[in-house]
């Protein structure tokens, strides 16, 4: 029985089953909210079939495809991709191919790829992408209606991109394995040759920080404009179920708006229609769709000069990624280090430009035909910011600047301390000299005073001495007179 199961569960079949399961879940994600909104919308004349057809068009948009709309209000192609739905679809593909990868067991217990592993993995991924793209094209063809028509070719291309990208992520994810006492661990980035694994890790860190910075800016704007959003929400009067669907729609668009905010803080300009633009210098907006979250957009006018300090926000994640890269490759040969230092800023710039390009689109042929980042305004400041930040980090950490600075500071400190010690020594010697000279003079003076006191007796001693001296003189005078008489 097990042999029959193994013969049926080939890599090709596993890829087909994985694609069908991913498409089924994606279809449910798009259809269920649409049907809920149709049932709750008492004032709407749309039927359940209309809701399903609209959900199929939204599913194509979520993959990055296009839809031709003709509603009287909007005429023309709609190419705005709800990035939240796109991320969900990528996650579904990754989870499906992760299960396939684990079932195929491409890595042996010793951590080495088994024989034929690449062939099995490649065939399963190819079949998964093919079935997924064909299935999405079929759904796009079914989703045609009088008001919206999904573009089948864009559905095929976008379906292939989502399936291949998500499938690769899932297969790489399946290779990851925690180490045990008997089985070595497997890390995905460690499978890449040096130094590209370190570069990929640093780039992922920088991109995560940049996207987080853009999302933080959006959250701050949303919190600051709660009254305006509440007024727009009340004007729509969607009801409970309709409000939930509207909230889900805004959540699907939130990552897209975060990339727009990131474009602005990087120094670029985001257009919200023809002849409009939002940048760090100011905002010029026009009539926008009645979507509550758009109430967070700044009012038209010039911004204060302090707004340009927001350029420091993306500097932090880029610098953190560069610091991580320098520390990870410090033990590699010089050639590999130079390769990593050059590849990191290039990869960050390309990834940011790719995200900005994917976030552009349009709604109809009217004034909303151009939405999203204006690439010509983003390229130069992005290149300058990433290149300068990386160069500064490399100049500080990857060159002898810090050791030289530390040595210079230590040498200066040593000279200062030596000068202070010399000054203290001279001061102490001068103090000892003055003290010794004063003591010598004082002792000499005391000796003279003692001699003077011994030569000059006091009054009580001088009287007897004086009398004795006079008597001796008188005796001497008498003797002298006697001698003179005898002669």
pLDDT tens column, 188-207: 777 777 889 899 999 999 99
Highest mean pLDDT among 201-210, 362-371, 392-401, 476-485: 201-210
Instruction: Examine residue 405 and state whether it is found in any structural domain, yes or no.
Output: no
Task: Indicate if 23 and 152 belong to the same structural domain.
Answer: yes
Cβ pair 142, 32 in contact under 8 A: no
What's the rounded Cα separation, in Å, for the pair 80 and 62?
9
The residue from 399, 420, 447 where one domain ends is 399
Residue 476 has pLDDT above 70, yes or no: no
How many other CB atoms are there within 10 angstroms of residue 113's CB atom?
Answer: 13
Q: How is residue 399 annotated by DSSP?
A: S
Q: Which residues contact 147 (CB under 8 A, 6 or more apart)?
A: 69, 70, 71
Confidence (pLDDT) at 166: 95
Instruction: Examine residue 423 and state whether it is found in any structural domain, yes or no.
Output: no
Confidence (pLDDT) at 81: 92
The residue from 399, 433, 452 where one domain ends is 399
Cβ pair 55, 34 in contact under 8 A: yes
What does the pLDDT look like over 357-386, one tens digit per residue? 999 999 988 888 889 999 999 999 999 999
Q: Per-residue confidence at 339, pLDDT binned at 50, 70, 90?
A: very high
Confidence (pLDDT) at 44: 61
- Please tell me which residue, 427 or 2, carries the higher pLDDT value: 427
Residue 307 has pLDDT above 50, yes or no: yes
Cβ pair 161, 89 in contact under 8 A: no
- Please tell me which residue, 280 or 415, carries the higher pLDDT value: 280
Q: Regarding beta strands 67-70 and 75-78, do their DSSP bridges make them parallel or antiparallel, or are they unpaired?
A: antiparallel
Instruction: Examine residue 374 and state whether it is found in any structural domain, yes or no.
Output: yes
Question: Cα 224 from chain centroid?
Answer: 23
Task: Indicate if 152 and 132 belong to the same structural domain.
Answer: yes
What does the pLDDT look like over 447-468, one tens digit per residue? 444 444 444 444 444 443 443 4
Q: How is residue 330 annotated by DSSP?
A: T
Residue 407 has pLDDT above 80, yes or no: no
Percentage of the chain surpassing pLDDT 70?
A: 81
Task: Indicate if 271 and 375 belong to the same structural domain.
Answer: yes
Task: Indicate if 35 and 162 belong to the same structural domain.
Answer: yes
Q: Per-residue confidence at 471, pLDDT binned at 50, 70, 90?
A: very low
Is the bond into 280 cis (omega within 30 degrees of 0)? no
Task: Indicate if 349 and 326 belong to the same structural domain.
Answer: yes
Domain count of the fold of the chain? 2
Task: Indicate if 22 and 137 belong to the same structural domain.
Answer: yes
Q: Which residues contact 254 (CB under 8 A, 6 or more apart)?
A: 83, 84, 215, 218, 293
Q: Per-residue confidence at 82, pLDDT binned at 50, 70, 90?
A: very high
- Please tell me which residue, 276 or 359, carries the higher pLDDT value: 359
Q: Per-residue confidence at 430, pLDDT binned at 50, 70, 90?
A: low
Element (H, E) at 151: none
The residue from 364, 399, 434 where one domain ends is 399
What's the rounded Cα separation, in Å, for the pair 106 and 114?
6
What does the pLDDT look like over 149-163, one tens digit per residue? 999 999 999 999 999
The pair of structure tokens assigned to 158 is 């976008």
Task: Indicate if 116 and 251 belong to the same structural domain.
Answer: no
Confidence (pLDDT) at 238: 76
Instruction: Examine residue 458 and state whether it is found in any structural domain, yes or no.
Output: no
Separation in Å, CA 449 to CA 439, 457, 461: 15, 13, 19
Task: Indicate if 202 and 175 belong to the same structural domain.
Answer: no
What's the rounded Cα separation, in Å, for the pair 265 and 212?
12
- Please tell me which residue, 315 or 422, carries the higher pLDDT value: 315
Q: Which residues contact 55 (CB under 8 A, 6 or more apart)?
A: 30, 31, 33, 34, 35
Confidence (pLDDT) at 422: 81
Confidence (pLDDT) at 1: 39
Confidence (pLDDT) at 437: 53
Instruction: Examine residue 30 and state whether it is found in any structural domain, yes or no.
Output: yes
Q: Per-residue confidence at 299, pLDDT binned at 50, 70, 90?
A: confident
From 413, 377, 196, select the one nearest 280 (Cα to Cα): 377
What's the rounded Cα separation, in Å, for the pair 246 and 64?
20
Q: Which residues contact 58 (CB under 8 A, 6 or more apart)?
A: 30, 34, 82, 85
Q: Per-residue confidence at 474, pLDDT binned at 50, 70, 90?
A: very low
What's the rounded Cα separation, in Å, for the pair 193 and 52?
48
Q: How is residue 189 annotated by DSSP?
A: G
Residue 236 has pLDDT above 90, yes or no: no
Confidence (pLDDT) at 338: 92
Q: Regarding beta strands 269-272 and 148-150, do their DSSP bridges make them parallel or antiparallel, or are they unpaired?
A: unpaired
Residue 426 has pLDDT above 80, yes or no: no
Cβ pair 214, 258 in contact under 8 A: yes
Residue 272 β-bridge partners:
371
What does the pLDDT look like over 95-112, one tens digit per residue? 999 999 888 888 776 666
Instruction: Examine residue 205 and state whether it is found in any structural domain, yes or no.
Output: yes
Task: Indicate if 144 and 217 belong to the same structural domain.
Answer: no
Confidence (pLDDT) at 200: 93
Question: Cα 72 from chain centroid?
Answer: 44
What does the pLDDT look like over 245-270, one tens digit per residue? 888 889 999 999 999 999 999 999 99
The pair of structure tokens assigned to 190 is 């460690």
Residue 275 has pLDDT above 50, yes or no: yes
Task: Indicate if 54 and 81 belong to the same structural domain.
Answer: yes
What's the rounded Cα separation, in Å, for the pair 231 and 234?
5
Cβ pair 290, 378 in contact under 8 A: no
- DSSP secondary structure, 343-390, as one string: HHHHHHHHHHHHHHHHT-B-BSSSTTS-EEEEHHHHHHHHHHHHHHHH
Which whole number is the average pLDDT over 422-442? 64
Which whole number is the average pLDDT over 22-32? 93
Instruction: Examine residue 462 and state whether it is found in any structural domain, yes or no.
Output: no
Task: Indicate if 185 and 153 belong to the same structural domain.
Answer: yes
- DSSP secondary structure, 39-99, as one string: HH-TT----HHHHHHHHHHHHHHHTT--EEEESSS-EEEE----HHHHHHHHHHHHHHHHH
Q: Per-residue confidence at 117, pLDDT binned at 50, 70, 90?
A: confident
Q: How is residue 294 annotated by DSSP?
A: G
Q: Per-residue confidence at 324, pLDDT binned at 50, 70, 90?
A: very high
Task: Indicate if 310 and 385 belong to the same structural domain.
Answer: yes
What's the rounded Cα separation, in Å, for the pair 152 and 154?
5
From 139, 159, 180, select the one nearest 57 (Cα to Cα): 139
Instruction: Examine residue 54 and state whether it is found in any structural domain, yes or no.
Output: yes
Task: Work out the widest C-alpha separation in the chain, in whole angstroms.
Answer: 182
Confidence (pLDDT) at 457: 44
What's the rounded Cα separation, in Å, for the pair 207 and 201?
10
Q: Which domain holds residue 165?
A: 7-190
């Amino acid at each position: 029985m097990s042999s029959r199961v193994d013969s049926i569960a080939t890599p090709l079949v596993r890829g087909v089953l994985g694609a069908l399961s991913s498409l089924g879940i994606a279809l449910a994600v798009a259809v269920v909210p649409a049907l809920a909104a149709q049932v709750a919308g008492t004032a709407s004349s749309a039927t359940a079939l209309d809701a399903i057809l609209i959900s199929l068009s939204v599913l194509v948009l979520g993959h990055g495809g296009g839809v031709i709309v003709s509603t009287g209000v909007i005429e023309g192609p709609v190419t705005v991709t709800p990035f939240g739905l796109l991320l969900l679809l990528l996650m579904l593909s990754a989870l499906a191919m992760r299960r396939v990868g684990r079932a195929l067991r491409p890595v042996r217990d010793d951590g080495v790829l088994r024989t034929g592993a690449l062939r099995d993995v490649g065939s399963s991924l190819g079949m998964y992408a093919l079935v997924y793209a064909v299935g999405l094209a079929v759904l796009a063809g079914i989703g045609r209606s009088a008001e919206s028509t999904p573009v089948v070719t864009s559905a095929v291309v976008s379906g292939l991109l989502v399936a291949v990208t998500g499938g690769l992520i899932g297969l790489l994810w399946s290779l990851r394995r925690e180490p045990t006492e008997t089985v070595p661990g497997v890390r995905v980035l460690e499978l890449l040759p040096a130094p590209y694994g370190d570069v990929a890790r640093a780039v992922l860190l920088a991109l995560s920080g940049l996207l987080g910075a853009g999302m933080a800016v959006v959250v701050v704007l949303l919190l600051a404009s709660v009254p305006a959003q509440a007024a727009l929400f009340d004007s729509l009067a969607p009801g409970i179920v309709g409000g939930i669907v509207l909230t889900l729609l805004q959540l699907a668009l939130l990552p897209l708006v975060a990339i727009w905010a990131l474009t602005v803080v990087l120094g670029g300009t985001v257009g919200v229609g023809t002849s409009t633009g939002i940048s760090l210098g100011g905002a010029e907006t026009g009539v926008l769709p009645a979507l509550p979250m758009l109430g967070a957009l700044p009012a038209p006018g010039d911004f204060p000069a302090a707004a340009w300090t927001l350029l420091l926000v993306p500097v932090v994640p880029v610098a953190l990624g560069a610091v991580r890269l320098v520390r990870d490759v410090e033990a590699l040969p010089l050639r590999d280090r130079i390769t990593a230092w050059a590849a990191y800023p290039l990869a960050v710039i390309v990834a940011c430009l790719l995200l900005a390009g994917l976030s552009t689109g349009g709604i109809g042929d009217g004034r909303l035909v151009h939405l999203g980042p204006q690439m010509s305004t983003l390229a130069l400041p992005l290149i300058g910011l990433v290149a300068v930040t990386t160069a500064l980090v490399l100049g500080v950490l990857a060159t002898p600047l810090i050791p030289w600075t530390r040595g210079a500071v230590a040498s200066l400190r040593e000279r200062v301390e030596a000068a202070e010690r010399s000054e203290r020594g001279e001061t102490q010697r001068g103090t000892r000299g003055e003290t010794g000279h004063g003591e010598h003079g004082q002792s000499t003076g005391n000796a003279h005073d003692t001699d003077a006191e011994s030569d000059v007796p006091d009054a009580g001693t001088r009287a007897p001495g004086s009398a004795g001296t006079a008597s001796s003189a008188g005796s001497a005078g008498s003797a002298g007179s006697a001698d003179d008489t005898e002669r």
